[in-house]
A and B are shown apart, each in its own frame.
Chain A
Amino acid sequence: MALAKRIIPCLDVKNGQTVKGTNFVNLRQAGDPVELGKAYSEQGADELVYLDITASHEGRKTFTDMVQRVAAEISIPFTVGGGINELADVERLLNAGADKVSVNSAALRRPQLIDDITGHFGSQVCVVAIDAKETEEGWFCYLNGGRIRTERKLFDWAREACDRGAGEILFTSMDHDGVKQGFANEALARLSDELSIPVIASGGAGRKEHFRDAFLLGKSDAALAASVFHFGEIPIPGLKEWLKDEGINVRI
């Protein structure tokens, strides 16, 4: 056996509640991120990602409280992201019990943040999330949840993040995200080939086959998805059994 490929549900959290709808049964509160995370954990999710999409200061506090509850109640690793701008944010979230933090725009604006995080807490806590879009001149990185285009090229930035000590790259292809036609496997494979750290595929899951392709064609170490899990379109236990039958090493 070897290191298993990971399946990671991603939960968007606003004011302490998950945003995307769910049709999980047997949940006391379907909108409660802790209850939902627990359900995923019991179904066999390998890790969880919680993204804080609250803008306000009070929202931050609510999110930190939620992180503490997740840490208390869930027995698998989890990453938190959204609104992490400085080392103090990282410290607050790790102290609350998060295993890893995911940084995106703040790192792109000030790459030294990656060195600061990994210097203080180690590479293993630092996930660098990259939103990118393919154009005729190649892949470019975007800021602020894909709203602002930068001149940074995807593969250059990913390599720099890796050199600065990032522990993992979470790559979202903006054109694939939400379309449910599969992950950006060509770009994923190139990232995997060029980097010496794990790559998490994000954006595009619509069918079981897409996960297989992200692992086999995209050479990803992990695949992240939101709506197909939240709406119960692809239940995790069935997905993992199917992937295993397809010859992919997953934890069952």
Chain B
Amino acid sequence: MNVAIVKYNAGNIRSVANALKRLGITPELTDDAERLSKADCVLFPGQGEAGSTMAYLKSRGLDRLICGLKQPVLGICIGQQLLCRHSEESDTECLGVFDVEVKRFQPMRHEDKVPHMGWNTLSGLRGDLFKGFGKDEFVYFVHSYYVPVNPCTSAVTEYIVPFSAALHKDNFYATQFHPEKSGSVGERILKNFLDLAL
């Protein structure tokens, strides 16, 4: 299987490549339009800041390219946020695959620390990524901005507010959490995603 990872200026992309290798897949890290278009599936991971990553994607024409992909696409963390319409972070226009606004967590109590960092549970699971999942499985999060619950939400996590732990629309999938750092639960999610491309 030909698996591509979008190469851009976000951090922590290699950990996704490592996770895929543990599943026996050697992904290609590329920003080449043709290679991305021809891949069986595309991962769009990373940690970073919305304004600078979006500016980079635009400068390379990767914004239109990603939106036009027809194969299964998985955005992770900042990848999920960039697939939305707009982010409060640096007031950034994003890719608009999911018609929703990315917001910053507003602490309500002292215990509400931002970033939301650590292991939290998933509920309200829908769709292919969570095939075979039980109740309240834990995944690993690190983020200060979140996607509110909306019609594309395919998993919900509660932190300060209920938010979209995952999204799905057509061939686009996204997770706010890091499947590549979520132990065996994360591996099942990545496997389920790869299965979509079979």
Residues of A within 8 A of B (CB): 1-4, 6, 41, 46, 71-73, 75-77, 94, 97, 99, 121-124, 167-168, 193, 196-198, 221-222, 251
Contact residues in B for A4 (Cβ distance below 8 Å): 118-120, 138
Given contacts A1-B158, A94-B11, A124-B142, contact A73 B22 (CB under 8 A): yes
Given contacts A1-B121, A2-B120, A46-B118, contact A71 B140 (CB under 8 A): no
Contact residues in A for B11 (Cβ distance below 8 Å): 94, 121-122
Contact residues in A for B184 (Cβ distance below 8 Å): 75
Given contacts A1-B121, A124-B47, contact A72 B18 (CB under 8 A): yes
Interface string of B103-144 (1 = CB under 8 A from A): 000010010011111111101000000000000101010100
B93 close to A (CB within 8 Å): no
11 A-B pairs in the complex with CB atoms less than 8 angstroms apart: A3-B116, A46-B119, A73-B22, A75-B19, A76-B140, A94-B11, A122-B47, A124-B142, A167-B115, A196-B114, A198-B117
When the two chains form their complex, are residues A2 and B159 in contact, meaning their CB atoms are under 8 A apart?
Answer: yes
B15 close to A (CB within 8 Å): yes
Cα(A122)–Cα(B182), bound, Å: 21
When the two chains form their complex, are residues A3 and B119 in contact, meaning their CB atoms are under 8 A apart?
Answer: yes
Looking across the interface, which residue of chain B has its beta carbon closest to that of A73?
Answer: B22
Given contacts A2-B159, A75-B183, contact A197 B18 (CB under 8 A): no
B70 close to A (CB within 8 Å): no
- Specify the main secondary structure of chain A where it touches its partner: loop
Cα(A71)–Cα(B118), bound, Å: 18
Cα(A99)–Cα(B13), bound, Å: 11
Looking across the interface, which residue of chain B has its beta carbon closest to that of A124?
Answer: B142
Interface string of B154-198 (1 = CB under 8 A from A): 000011000000000000000000001111101100000000000
State how many residues of chain B have any CB contact under 8 Å with chain A: 35
Cα(A171)–Cα(B39), bound, Å: 47
* CB of A96, distance to nearest CB on chain B (Å): 9
Supply 15 further A-B pairs (C-beta < 8 A) apart from A1-B120, A2-B159, A198-B117.
A2-B158, A3-B116, A4-B119, A4-B138, A6-B119, A71-B14, A73-B22, A75-B19, A75-B184, A75-B187, A76-B181, A122-B47, A124-B117, A196-B107, A251-B138
* CB of A248, distance to nearest CB on chain B (Å): 13
B58 close to A (CB within 8 Å): no
When the two chains form their complex, are residues A97 and B14 in contact, meaning their CB atoms are under 8 A apart?
Answer: yes
When the two chains form their complex, are residues B14 and A221 in contact, meaning their CB atoms are under 8 A apart?
Answer: no
Contact residues in B for A77 (Cβ distance below 8 Å): 140, 181
Cα(A201)–Cα(B19), bound, Å: 29
When the two chains form their complex, are residues A3 and B120 in contact, meaning their CB atoms are under 8 A apart?
Answer: yes
B38 close to A (CB within 8 Å): no
Contact residues in A for B183 (Cβ distance below 8 Å): 41, 75-76
Contact residues in B for A196 (Cβ distance below 8 Å): 107, 110, 113-114
Most buried by A among B114, B123, B181, B187: B181
Most buried by B among A6, A72, A222, A251: A251
B60 close to A (CB within 8 Å): no
When the two chains form their complex, are residues B121 and A99 in contact, meaning their CB atoms are under 8 A apart?
Answer: no
